[in-house]
């Protein structure tokens, strides 16, 4: 472990961030010790961990969702992680801006500049700043660098420093819409409560709150009228006490130019604290950039409702079994067997480990397994996108279960595990719906279901310096490790992320 010599200023910095010295020391130990790999049983696949909702099963799930939405007793919310800056969207453009060496992504952006929803705004900014010369004239004159400056910097739209939430994504005949506006409109179609409200919570960075609020002031009424709903839009920021220390390649704490300890956001896993504050029965989670223009919403709306309905079906069975198990009730062998079958079929939980236990001990074990939050995760066919996937894993208590794993959580040195990763059929598009209340209607404390052993260490750079960063257990990875988890296959048409600005040129983001 690194030698830790804290100055008075260091201690003051820790106090201001709400991080104890013990927490800091624990983070440094993680860099030295690393994290254990999970024990893979197999990649989840059709019929083995991944459910297909088709025909009557799809109809039943959709019907269940309509009944839940129409019930005044059910409160539905959406949770949208939107705190990250869009800078990574423009990585290639920044590279061109810094080196003036043209790359393929930047060339494509310049060649198709009129096809972006932000073109009119960018063109206007160029004309105002360049004596009436718009984007096309500047490009024709060989001033591509100037156009990119107006796109990315404060000189113009400043898109390189805004969140994806506030970027103009799509162009309609009547105007343009940001990613936030698309999220709000889409939500009104599958998450409108019985009283007509659409509850949606965004996580934001502090510097983005004011422009976000300004957008809401301008657009909220228009969106409510267009989609016949009442929007209840809230936001929160990622807590400072979830930041983690950065270290160099020798695991020594890094410092800023001013001499302060260098902390970095702990990743999206820190948002479990924000999610834990949402007081709803059912919560949908979807990334801010996974949106399409309204005419293409059909598949998304169908399968959002479907996974919502499937969650309700599972929840109702869990609640029924919890009521049957009760606190001190003696449960029949038939009920125990029925619950075991349900756990295996719904959540891939193998309970063979219970065979030698008494009926009383089995009942107690099953109570502990069932009395947890539930999540249903949509999964798309693996198309080579970077990110995690669905797996069946072996738990410490001897049971199995379903987890979403990133490549960093898998032992790539093990040829069997590596093959499981490389041949996985499905990919995690971050399409979740959650039940966060128990069978008595009490809200779970989500923090008590985090597996602290599932964080990971990533390699980054800052101001030209290589560093190691400590990532907290991911929001849909280790932060939900101890939930009841089910996977449902959803069409790839529901997954349209914008990882780089060029993705906005794909047909799924362009209205013909």
> Over the stretch 33-43, which tens digit does the pLDDT of each residue have?
888 888 999 99
Please report, rounded to a whole number, the percentage of residues in the chain having pLDDT higher than 70: 98
* Nearest-angstrom CA–CA distance, 470 and 457: 5
Q: DSSP secondary-structure letter at 332?
A: -
Residue 4 has pLDDT above 80, yes or no: no
What's the average model confidence in pLDDT over 335-343? 95
Q: Classify burial at 257, counting beta carbons within 10 Å of its beta carbon; exposed 0-12, middle 13-18, buried 19 or more.
A: exposed
Average pLDDT over the chain, rounded to an integer: 93
Q: What is the pLDDT of residue 87?
A: 85
Q: Quick one: tokens of 74? A: 């059910």
Q: What is the pLDDT of residue 423?
A: 85
Residue 352 has pLDDT above 70, yes or no: yes
Question: Between β-strands 484-489 and 168-172, what pairing exists: parallel, antiparallel or unpaired?
Answer: unpaired
Instruction: Report pLDDT digits (tens) over 271-294.
Output: 999 999 999 999 999 999 999 999
Would you list the domain boundaries of the chain? 22-85+165-509, 88-161
Cα separation values, 489 from 40, 48, 311, Å: 20, 12, 14
Instruction: Report pLDDT digits (tens) over 431-480.
Output: 999 999 999 999 999 999 999 988 888 888 776 788 999 989 999 999 99
pTM for the complete prediction?
A: 0.93
Q: Quick one: tokens of 7? A: 């100055």
Architecture of the domain defined by 22-85+165-509: Alpha-Beta Complex (3.90)
Which of these, 271, 277, 252, lies nearest to 474 by C-alpha position?
A: 271
Number of neighbouring beta carbons within 10 Å of residue 338 = 15
Residue 1 has pLDDT above 60, yes or no: no
Q: What is the pLDDT of residue 191?
A: 97
Alpha-carbon Rg for the chain, nearest whole angstrom, is: 24
Q: What is the 3-state secondary structure (H, E, C) of 47-60?
A: CEEEECCCHHHHHH
Angle between helices 144-152 and 91-99 (to 10 degrees): 130
Number of neighbouring beta carbons within 10 Å of residue 294 = 17
């Amino acid at each position: 472990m690194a030698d830790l010599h804290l100055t008075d200023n260091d201690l003051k910095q820790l106090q201001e961030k709400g991080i104890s010295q013990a927490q800091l020391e624990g983070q440094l130990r993680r860099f030295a010790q690393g994290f254990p790999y999970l024990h893979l049983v197999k990649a989840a696949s059709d019929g083995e961990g991944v459910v297909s909702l088709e025909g009557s099963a799809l109809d039943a799930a959709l019907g269940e969702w309509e009944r839940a939405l129409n019930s005044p007793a059910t409160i539905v919310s959406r949770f949208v992680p939107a705190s990250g800056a869009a800078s990574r969207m423009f990585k290639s453009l920044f590279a061109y801006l810094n080196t003036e060496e043209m790359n393929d992504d930047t060339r494509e952006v310049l060649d198709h500049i009129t096809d972006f929803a932000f073109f009119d705004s960018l063109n206007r900014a160029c004309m105002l700043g360049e004596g009436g010369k718009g984007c096309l004239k500047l490009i024709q004159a060989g001033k591509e660098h100037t156009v990119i400056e107006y796109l990315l910097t404060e000189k113009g739209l400043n898109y390189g420093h805004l969140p994806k939430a506030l970027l103009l994504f799509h162009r309609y005949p009547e105007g343009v819409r940001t990613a936030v506006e698309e999220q709000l409109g889409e939500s009104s179609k599958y998450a409108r409560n019985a009283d007509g409200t659409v509850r949606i919570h965004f996580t934001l960075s502090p510097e983005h709150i004011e422009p976000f609020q300004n957008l809401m002031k301008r657009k909220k009424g228009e969106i409510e009228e267009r989609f016949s709903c009442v929007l209840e839009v809230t936001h929160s920021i990622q807590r400072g006490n979830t930041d983690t220390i950065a270290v160099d390649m020798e695991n020594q704490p890094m410092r800023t130019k001013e001499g302060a300890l260098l902390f970095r956001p702990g990743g999206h896993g820190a948002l479990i604290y924000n999610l834990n504050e949402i007081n709803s029965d059912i919560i949908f989670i979807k990334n801010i950039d996974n949106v399409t223009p309204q005419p293409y919403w059909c598949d998304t709306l169908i399968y959002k409702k479907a996974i919502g309905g499937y969650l309700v079906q599972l929840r109702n069975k869990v609640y029924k079994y919890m009521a049957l198990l009760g606190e001190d009730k003696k449960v029949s062998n038939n009920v125990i067997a029925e619950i075991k079958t349900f756990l295996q079929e719904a959540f891939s939980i193998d309970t063979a480990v219970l065979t030698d236990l008494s009926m009383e001990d089995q009942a107690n074990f099953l109570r502990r397994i069932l009395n947890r939050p539930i999540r249903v995760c949509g999964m798309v066919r693996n198309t080579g996108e970077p990110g995690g996937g669905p797996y069946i894993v072996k738990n410490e208590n001897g049971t199995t279960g379903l987890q979403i794993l990133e490549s960093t959580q898998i032992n790539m040195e093990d040829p069997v595990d590596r093959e499981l990763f490389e041949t996985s059929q499905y990919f995690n598009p971050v399409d979740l719906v959650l039940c966060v209340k128990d069978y008595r209607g009490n809200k779970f404390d989500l923090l008590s279901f985090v597996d602290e052993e599932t964080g990971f260490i990533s390699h980054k750079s800052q101001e030209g310096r290589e560093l190691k960063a400590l990532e907290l257990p991911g929001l849909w990875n280790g932060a939900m490790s101890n939930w009841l988890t089910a996977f449902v296959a959803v069409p790839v048409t529901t997954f349209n992320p914008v990882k780089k600005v060029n993705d906005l040129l794909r047909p799924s983001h362009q209205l013909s």
